[in-house]
Every structure is written in structure tokens, then in C-alpha cells.
A and B are shown apart, each in its own frame.
Chain A
Amino acid sequence: MSAVRGTGVEGRPEDIRAVPVRRPGRWIAAAIVLVLAVAIVHSIATNPRFEWDVVGEYLFAERVLEGLRITLELTVISMAIGIVLGVLLAVMRLSLNPLVAGASWLYIWFFRGTPVLVQIIFWYFISALYPKIDLGIPFGPAFIHGNANTLIHAFTAAVLALGLNEGAYMAEIVRAGIISVDEGQADAAQSLGMTRLQTLRRIVLPQAMRVIIPPTGNETISMLKTTSLVSVIAVPDLLYAAQAIYAVNFRTIPLLITVSIWYLVCTSVLYVGQFYLERHYGRGATREQAATPLQRLRIRLGSLGGASRAAP
């Protein structure tokens, strides 16, 4: 028998083949889950009020796709602002200058302490507070004059609100990442003659990324969904587009399903992106890189074929 199973490695003992423990609980739990799943799927498929034909009709409707584009734009721009601002605020927060660190603290306190919905509406009505906006030297000459109403329309207000709010959250995430890097790394970098800025950029931040990426992925997914709040100030995002349609034809449920499908598609894509980013910044931190789903599939298929190979 061992002659048949021999894999060419001489003297290797046979793997243990024992009778597994019976686990009736598992079978019962699996049966319950299966019954529930069938019930739910049956209900979704047979309840005519889901109106799947309407969902199909609107899934690729021009107005819905246009709304999706606005939602994605808002997400990307707001996250970009949030990340840049977050790094800046985190570095400020760790500054030795108490005024700089205090300013960062105050910013984070304010923007984390008020609801983002309030902030969105606030920015929308900013012209009531500052009817005219001048960009220039404080108390000195201004280079750009503008009417707040024309400078800040709904989309700008939405981006400002979401981005500035996100900055406060990202600041805490980045700060946690920077603190997580061993102080010895900075010691070593400085002993080699690197300045504080070089140390931060070349040594500390790249290693902080491993800690920063996962929550940032969460933030991005969260941001994608939070953008739906801007429908209150009539930015024609994905949700607003659906609302505009069902306000006319009263097909509320199928349109909300349409919207949900698109949100799910987008968050799923973000999941994949997050996986590869984490893998990239995990270099050097773990002894072996996590296998990509494709590699895992190949390994599984390989083991199904009978030959158990080690991961490459």
C-alpha cells in the first residue's frame, strides 16, 4: 500500500487516517440555514411586487448610469481630499509645535463631532454665512473675487463636506499607522543622516501603510455609501436619480433594488482592490505573501487532482 502512495520521499511516514468525530449539530445547523435560504430565494423569485422586470429595465437606464457616475466621482474626489488632508493632519498632530498640533486636534474634534449630513447642508448654505468669497492674502489684497452662490454649487458643497469630514477620520487612521511603526526605525534612519521628512516619507509611512490600508478600505466603502446623503441637496447622484424616477412612476421598490445592486457591485470591486493593496504593502512584513484568489483556486484544483503540492 505504501508502495502505491509513495510520493518519492523515502522514509516518510504515512499520514494518519482516523475515523472523524460525528458532528450532528453541524448537520442540523446546515439544514436550518439551507431551508431558510431556499425560503428567501423562493420569496424573492415569486413575489411579483419585486418587479424584477422593472429592475432590469432601469439597471442600465441612462439617468441611473449618470447618477452612478456622479456617485463614483464624489467618492473618488472626496476620498482623495480626505487622504491628503488626513496625512497632513496626522503629521501636524504629531508635530512638536503645540500650536500646530492643537490646530489639528481642533479640526478633528470639530469635524468628527458634527454629523456629516449637517455638514453637507451647512456647506450648501454657506453663501448665507459668507455671501462673497475672496481668495488672497489675509487682511490684504484678494486675487479671486466671487459670489459664494456661483462658486459653491451643490456638487462643490458635497465634495467639500464629504472630503473635509473624511480628512478628520483619515487623520486618526494615519496617526495610528505612524505610531505603530517601531521608534527604532526612525532612530536608524536618522543615524544614517536622513532628515525627519525623509524618514517619514521613505521609512515610516511605507511601513505605516500596512496598518493604514485596511481601515482606509473600510472608509472608502463607507464613503461610497455616504455619498447617498448628498441627495438632500439635490446633487443628482445614484440615489437621487432613482428618487427622481420613482417620484414620477411610483416604482419605488424596484428602483431602490436597482440602486442597491449598483452599490453592491461597486463595494465588491473595492473589496478586490483592497485585497491587492494590502498584499502589496504586506511585503517584508510576513514571511509568505497571501495567495491571490487565483493562486488559491489553482492550489485547490491541484489538490483535487490528487497531488498535494506546497504553495509556490
Chain B
Amino acid sequence: MSTAPPMVLAEGVHKRFGRNEVLRGIDLEVKPGEVLCLLGPSGSGKSTFLRCINHLEKINAGRLSVDGELVGYREVGGKLHELRESEVAKKRAEIGMVFQHFNLFGNMTALENVACAPMRVKHESRDAARERGRALLTSVGLQDKFDVYPSQLSGGQQQRVAIARALAMQPKLMLFDEPTSALDPELVGEVLEVMRSLAGDGMTMVVVTHEMGFAREVADKVTFMDGGVVVEEGPPGELLANPRHERTRAFLSKVL
């Protein structure tokens, strides 16, 4: 087990948007099967870092690898070569992502949303993709919503469809970008429930969240970010109860 490469390994990751330096050297590691919760004030670069992991954003400096392979590049003889679009797409297909605003495809029903990528990207047969789609939607409690369009679903239902859609690609890593921030309070629970059971199944997850209860209960490791750097990290019991750093304390005192 010790020979398995980390699922995510970031070393000195920098990201700029124009002159705005969002990430200033992120070092971070996620082991296979681990659940990492990223905490931090808004604007601290959590979401940007998450988007870098599946190359929706290109990093400017540092090294970032997923499952032992560099994100977006190939290293040949000490030189980095950019990957072709199809190669990037292939790697993205192995990483599931869930967004704050769900981003369900508005022109497709719930089932079509879930079955779309397996058919188009993995070239599975329509029947097989839909069969698994139905099973996945059932597993997130939406067995009666197969043929409903996203606009007719509640926020919590949409986010559960979005999770099923990401799982349909059988990813080895799941990224959650504030999955419950856009939800009405009474709908948060149903989404966290799905995520909790996913973690229980051993999925490797990186979760940007403000749900301290979820972090405490489900995370193996909690990382606190501020100003584009990792301020501190540790097991949730320790970090949330006894933060060592002043900035962490200040943040936690506001959200807890």
C-alpha cells in the first residue's frame, strides 16, 4: 500500500489571473481513499486550486500530479510538454467534479445528464449507459425523477443528479466545489448524506466546504487555506478543536 502514489500531490503550485496572484505556493497531498476538506475564507483560492486539479485552470508554476501523473503536461527528458486536448480530456474523464451551481445540462433530462458522458466519452452503448444511469439515480434517491428536466428539480435534487453524473464516469477522484453553498438550508442534509455514503465506500474526495459538521465527521484531513497558501492542516479533531495558527482561529470562531 505504501508504494501507491498519492492521488493528488501539489508542490509549490502557483496560479495567477493577470496580475492577481490567487495561489502562492500550495503544498498538499491526498492519499488514495482519503477525504480532504479544504476550508478557508472566500477568495483564499480553494476553488481555483480545485479547478487546477482537473486542468480547468492552468497552473503557472510548481508541480501538480494526480495518481502519479502530471496534470496537463508530460515530462520528457526533464522538459515539460503540453498535453494535447484529447489527452487532457481523457485524464479529466477519470476525475469527477461537482459544482456549487450544479451545472446540470439544461437541455437534458436527469437520466440523459447521467448517461451522456459515458456514451459520448467512453462510447458505451446507450442501453448500458442508461441502465447504470438509472441505478446511480436510484442510489441517490431519485428513482422517480429519471425523465425530469433540471429546471423542474429542487436544488438538492439537482446536486444529487450532478453527483450521479460525475460517478457515472467511474472516477478515481471526486472534487466537490462548495456543493451545498447554493442550497436552501433544509436541502443541505440530503446532499451531504450522499457524500457521506460515497466517502464510506472509500472514494478519494477533495471537498471545498463551509460545512464544519461534515468536515469533522467525514474528513480524514482538514486543510485551512488563506491568501493562496496552506496555513495549516491536520486531522479534523485537532485542527477544528485546537487550531495552532491565529488566522485559523479567527476563521473558525466566525463560522463555528
By a beta-carbon cutoff of 8 Å, the part of chain A in contact with chain B is: 182, 184-185, 187-196, 198, 202-203, 206-207, 283-287
Contact = CB atoms under 8 A, between A and B. Distances in A.
Contacts of B97: 187-188, 191
Contacts of B90: 193
B103 interface: yes
A194 B85 CA distance: 10
B152 interface: yes
Interface residues of B, number: 33
Contacts of B2: none
A192 B107 contact: no
**Residue in A187, A190, A196, A284 whose Cβ sees the most chain B Cβ within 10 Å:** A284
Contact of B56 (A190, A193, A195, A202): A190
A192 B121 contact: yes
Nearest to B104: A188
Contacts of A190: 56, 89, 92
B151 A284 contact: yes
Nearest to B86: A195
B171 to A, nearest CB: 9
Nearest to A288: B152
B85 A193 contact: no
Nearest to B92: A193
B8 interface: no
A187 B149 contact: no
Nearest to A193: B93
Contact of B116 (A191, A195, A202): A202
A287 to B, nearest CB: 6
Nearest to A205: B107
Contacts of A188: 97, 99, 103-105, 162, 165
B186 to A, nearest CB: 21
Contacts of B54: 191
20 contacts: A184-B101, A187-B103, A188-B97, A188-B105, A188-B162, A191-B54, A191-B96, A192-B93, A192-B116, A192-B117, A192-B169, A193-B169, A194-B121, A198-B120, A198-B121, A202-B116, A283-B107, A283-B149, A284-B108, A284-B109
Contacts of A283: 107, 149
Contact of B107 (A182, A191, A206, A286): A206
Interface in B66-116: 85-86, 89-90, 92-97, 99, 101, 103-109, 116
B30 interface: no
Nearest to A207: B107
Dominant secondary structure of chain A at its interface with chain B: helix
Q: Across chains A and B, which 6 residue pairs bring their CB atoms closest together, nearest first?
A: A193-B93, A284-B149, A188-B103, A184-B103, A192-B117, A191-B97
A185 B101 CA distance: 10
B150 interface: yes
A189 to B, nearest CB: 7
Nearest to B152: A287
B166 interface: yes
Given A187-B56, A284-B107, A194 B89 contact: yes
Interface string B138-169: 00000000000111100000000010011001
A212 B94 CA distance: 34
Contact of B92 (A184, A192, A202): A192
B105 A189 contact: yes
A206 B93 CA distance: 22
Contacts of A206: 107
B25 to A, nearest CB: 25
Contacts of B116: 192, 202
Given A202-B116, A206-B107, A284-B107, A192 B149 contact: no
B162 to A, nearest CB: 8
B89 A193 contact: yes
Contacts of B152: 287
Contacts of B169: 192-193
Given A191-B54, A195-B89, A185 B106 contact: yes
Nearest to A206: B107
